[in-house]
A and B are shown apart, each in its own frame.
Chain A
Amino acid sequence: MAVEKKTHPLIVSVSPHIKGEESVSRIMWTVNLALLPSFLMSLYYFGPRALFVTALCVITAVLSEYIFQKSLKKKITLSDGSAFLTGLLLGMNLPPSLPFYIPIAGSFMAIVITKQLFGGLGYNIFNPALIGRAFLLISWPKAMTIWKEPTAVFATLDAKTTATPLGILKEEGLGKLLEVFGDKANLYTQLLIGNRAGSLGETSVIALLLGAAFLLYRGYITWHIPFSFLGTVALVAWVFGGKGALFTGDPIIHLLSGGLILGAFFMATDYVTCPTIRKGQIIFGIGCGAITMLIRLKGGYPEGVMFAILLMNCFAPLIDRGVKTDLFGATKGQKK
């Protein structure tokens, strides 16, 4: 959000003199673009319902940001794409069959309460889309956990209700999961391409990884958070995930299922709500992974990615304080 000023070429000014191409709106719209493949996959698997829920979220998010800023006589910042992104991420985190008022309530909660009341983009403590989803999960626990079997676009509008792979894993164990999907190879393949019940945008791991690779290549996200997050999940799943003995768990199921890929690459990496120092980001990622697996293996909910990221959001300012580097040349005890 650099202030554009026209300066005479001969007038000496303070640095920076070289301005890059990057700007907040450019980054935000690129992230939106990176989510396009998984949005298309959600259209393919869940049909018009996916479009309906996602569009509701996006429209409410954009509208409520506009109304809030207009009524407070603030600068309208719709063009930076952050409200659009919040709406899109929230939509991709919702199950397909919801009555229309639920996405609207979630979007309002995300934009107005979690973002605008804190002063708008850049000041929010929590990830808006995740707060929106957590709020909905607690307010409408039943509607938010009705999962539909993915059916190709034009097949039928009344898809069968079913459980998510993580839900089956939690309630009935690995045996039942293998029974549903046939064998392990088939299970992995289906999880990878996203042919399973779940939130709209979280199912297709391949499409998400495509978008994530694009963001990594552009340098908009760095490896620190996602890889420490995924690594911790894999390690904990391998050590403690098995029945009975240690080191017998299956990390691949845990990596491919739930909202892990979506959360690790697109939500935990939110610039505003994660620590700003690299060392802190690794701690942040490890914390996210550990809490995710704690909730998946021991908690009351089958999926813990959302709560893990929100909980680590609370700790982000504290982590930043802890890993702050010393001033150059500072002696011991002279940290500030």
Chain B
Amino acid sequence: MDFNKLLELVISASLINNFVFTRFLGLCIFFGVSKKMETSVGMSITFTSVMVISAALSWLIFFYIMVPLDITFLKIVIFIGTIAALVQSADTIMKKVSPVMYHKLGIYLALITTNCIILAVPLINAGEGYTFIESLAFGLGSGLGFALALIIMASIREKLELAEVPRPFRGLPIAFIVAGLIALAFTGFSGLITL
């Protein structure tokens, strides 16, 4: 197993091709949850773990079921179904097994089902033909990148609560501008690792 390749995948997915700041995916959760630090930390934990599990599950389904049956053209539909079922069952199991954890993280699970990064990662994994471990690394990197974006954004938005932003720009508009400016800063990482 090539350790460097895995490290590159994680760094590339989290910093250089950060899903939020360079591909502009997953913005609905990003703007919805980043208003408070507490919710963004909860979301980051839930998101990263769901991401790794769904990357693994989709990889297994893709290479052991869809490729032998020659139905890879159905991958979008099947991945959406897989992820929705996975998240819903995690939700139900958590409610029964650990109500405390459900109380803390359960609300984020419902939001994750329809997130586009969760769908993009299995699609990219399938498209690039990553191995199982590489898919896990890519999923982990994407999750960590999203967590980083959320936590930076939450810290900035909490600071902006005190700012005298002109009225038409309060709330979401200024958040979009902040996201754009962070994206500008993140272009500095471009060309760091060429995959």
Interface centre among B174, B188, B190, by most chain A C-beta atoms within 10 angstroms, is B188
Bound-state CA distance A298–B8 (Å) is 13
Count residues of chain B with CB under 8 A from any CB of chain A: 29
Q: Which residues of chain B come closer than 8 Å to A321, judged between CB atoms?
A: 37, 155
Q: A117-B174, A317-B158 are in contact. Are A304 and B188 (CB under 8 A)?
A: yes
Q: Mark A93-121, 1 if CB is under 8 A from B, else 0.
A: 00000000000000000000110111110
The answer to whether B187 touches A138, judged by C-beta atoms less than 8 angstroms apart, is yes
- Please tell me if B68 contacts chain A, counting CB pairs below 8 Å: no
A279 CB to nearest B CB, Å: 17
Which B residue's beta carbon lies closest to that of A122? B163
Q: A298-B192, A317-B158, A321-B155 are in contact. Are A310 and B184 (CB under 8 A)?
A: yes
- Please tell me if B165 contacts chain A, counting CB pairs below 8 Å: yes
- Please tell me if B151 contacts chain A, counting CB pairs below 8 Å: yes
**Interface of chain A residues 271 through 320 with chain B (CB within 8 A):** 291, 294-295, 298-301, 304, 306-308, 310-311, 313-315, 317-318
Contact of B188 (CB < 8 Å), options: A135, A301, A318: A301
Q: Which residues of chain A come closer than 8 Å to B186, judged between CB atoms?
A: 311
Question: Which DSSP category, helix, strand, loop or mixed, fits chain A's interface?
Answer: helix
Contact of B159 (CB < 8 Å), options: A294, A304, A317: A317
Bound-state CA distance A240–B165 (Å) is 44
**Interface of chain B residues 164 through 192 with chain A (CB within 8 A):** 164-166, 169, 174, 177-178, 181-182, 184-192
- Please tell me if B160 contacts chain A, counting CB pairs below 8 Å: yes
**Interface of chain A residues 131 through 152 with chain B (CB within 8 A):** 131, 134-135, 138
Q: Which residues of chain A come closer than 8 Å to B169, judged between CB atoms?
A: 117
- Please tell me if B156 contacts chain A, counting CB pairs below 8 Å: yes
The answer to whether B188 touches A119, judged by C-beta atoms less than 8 angstroms apart, is no
Bound-state CA distance A117–B152 (Å) is 19
Contact of A125 (CB < 8 Å), options: B159, B189, B190: B159
Which A residue's beta carbon lies closest to that of B190? A300
- Please tell me if A265 contacts chain B, counting CB pairs below 8 Å: no
Q: A119-B165, A321-B155 are in contact. Are A310 and B185 (CB under 8 A)?
A: yes
- Please tell me if A123 contacts chain B, counting CB pairs below 8 Å: yes
Question: Which DSSP category, helix, strand, loop or mixed, fits chain B's interface?
Answer: helix
Q: Which residues of chain B come closer than 8 Å to A294, judged between CB atoms?
A: 192
A142 CB to nearest B CB, Å: 16
Bound-state CA distance A126–B177 (Å) is 11
The answer to whether B152 touches A126, judged by C-beta atoms less than 8 angstroms apart, is no
Q: Which residues of chain A come closer than 8 Å to B158, judged between CB atoms?
A: 317
Contact of A135 (CB < 8 Å), options: B151, B178, B184, B192: B184
The answer to whether A314 touches B156, judged by C-beta atoms less than 8 angstroms apart, is yes
The answer to whether A314 touches B188, judged by C-beta atoms less than 8 angstroms apart, is no
Contact of A114 (CB < 8 Å), options: B162, B164, B181, B189: B181
Contact of A308 (CB < 8 Å), options: B174, B178, B184, B188: B188
Contact of A301 (CB < 8 Å), options: B184, B185, B191: B191
The answer to whether B185 touches A307, judged by C-beta atoms less than 8 angstroms apart, is yes
Q: Mark A178-190, 1 if CB is under 8 A from B, else 0.
A: 0000000000000
Bound-state CA distance A138–B192 (Å) is 16
Q: Which residues of chain A come closer than 8 Å to B178, judged between CB atoms?
A: 125
Q: Which residues of chain B come closer than 8 Å to A72, judged between CB atoms?
A: 166
Contact of A295 (CB < 8 Å), options: B159, B163, B188: B188
Contact of B155 (CB < 8 Å), options: A135, A310, A318: A318
Which B residue's beta carbon lies closest to that of A72? B166
Residues of B within 8 A of A (CB): 37, 151-152, 155-156, 158-160, 162-166, 169, 174, 177-178, 181-182, 184-193
Name 23 interchain pairs, CB-CB below 8 A, sorted by A.
A117-B165, A118-B160, A120-B164, A123-B163, A125-B159, A125-B178, A126-B181, A126-B185, A131-B181, A134-B185, A138-B187, A291-B188, A298-B192, A298-B193, A299-B188, A299-B190, A300-B190, A306-B188, A307-B185, A307-B189, A313-B185, A314-B185, A317-B155
4 shortest A-B CB distances, which residue pairs?
A300-B191, A307-B188, A119-B164, A310-B185
Known: A125-B159, A301-B191, A313-B185. 6 other contacts (CB 8 A): A117-B177, A119-B165, A134-B185, A299-B189, A317-B155, A317-B159
